[in-house]
Amino acid sequence: MNDNRTQDMKKEVEKLRSELSRYKALVYDMQKKAMAMRNYIRTMQCNYTNSQGKLINRRSRRVMVSLTTRIVADNLDYTGLIENISEQGVFVRIPPREHKIDLTPGKKFELQIKLPSGSLFRSQCNVVWSCKTPPHNLVNSVGMEVLNPHSNYIDFLNTL
């Protein structure tokens, strides 16, 4: 009789372990989806408006792009990909490098973008925010403010 009870308990424990594994997988899946949604919202092209049509939390229109850029600081340069761009700033993803990059808010960089016209746009930028991009936390996601954008930069934005 004890053997039957032991077998029943083992089956119940195995059942509970299986359910726990399933729930862990669901939680992990939900976390991944939440992180993807957060990144999507960060990089959305549209502006947000309230019920009176006033712009919320955006100083200018974001435009989705895929532009290679160089970011230069502390005698090191990094290659990145601009995913969205506006008159005041850029959202850049920087792949992992051997040298750790300092992306502390307030840090200044020179941003270099080769425009489709062939001209090279250079401007000082200021890191506004940064984070490691899930799921492996290897790629740096960076929001940078473009300081004193030149007229060729604004002209380029108006063509997008």
pLDDT at 112 over 50: yes
Domain-embedded: residue 52: no
Domain-embedded: residue 103: yes
The pLDDT of 93-115, averaged and rounded, is 83
- Quick one: pLDDT at residue 108? 92
- Quick one: pLDDT at residue 141? 84
pLDDT: is 47 or 30 the higher one?
Answer: 30
Do 64 and 120 fall into the same domain?
A: yes
The pLDDT of 100-118, averaged and rounded, is 83
pLDDT at 23 over 50: yes
Which residues constitute the domain of residue 101?
Answer: 60-158
The pLDDT of 130-142, averaged and rounded, is 74
Domain-embedded: residue 48: no
Do 37 and 71 fall into the same domain?
A: no
Residue % of the chain over a pLDDT of 70: 80
pLDDT: is 59 or 43 the higher one?
Answer: 59
| Helix/strand/coil (H/E/C) assignment for every residue in the chain | CHHHHHHHHHHHHHHHHHHHHHHHHHHHHHHHHHHHHHHHHHCCCCCEECCCCCEECCCCCCEEEEEEEEEEECCEEEEEEEEEECCCEEEEEECCCCCCCCCCCCCEEEEEEECCCCCEEEEEEEEEEEEEECCCCCEEEEEEEECCCCHHHHHHHHCC
The pLDDT of 113-129, averaged and rounded, is 83
> Total structural domains in the chain?
2
- For the entire predicted model, the pTM comes to 0.59
Domain-embedded: residue 98: yes
Do 151 and 118 fall into the same domain?
A: yes
Domain-embedded: residue 47: no
pLDDT at 50 over 50: no
pLDDT at 79 over 80: yes
Residue % of the chain over a pLDDT of 90: 9
Domain-embedded: residue 75: yes
CATH code assigned at 131: 2.40.10.220
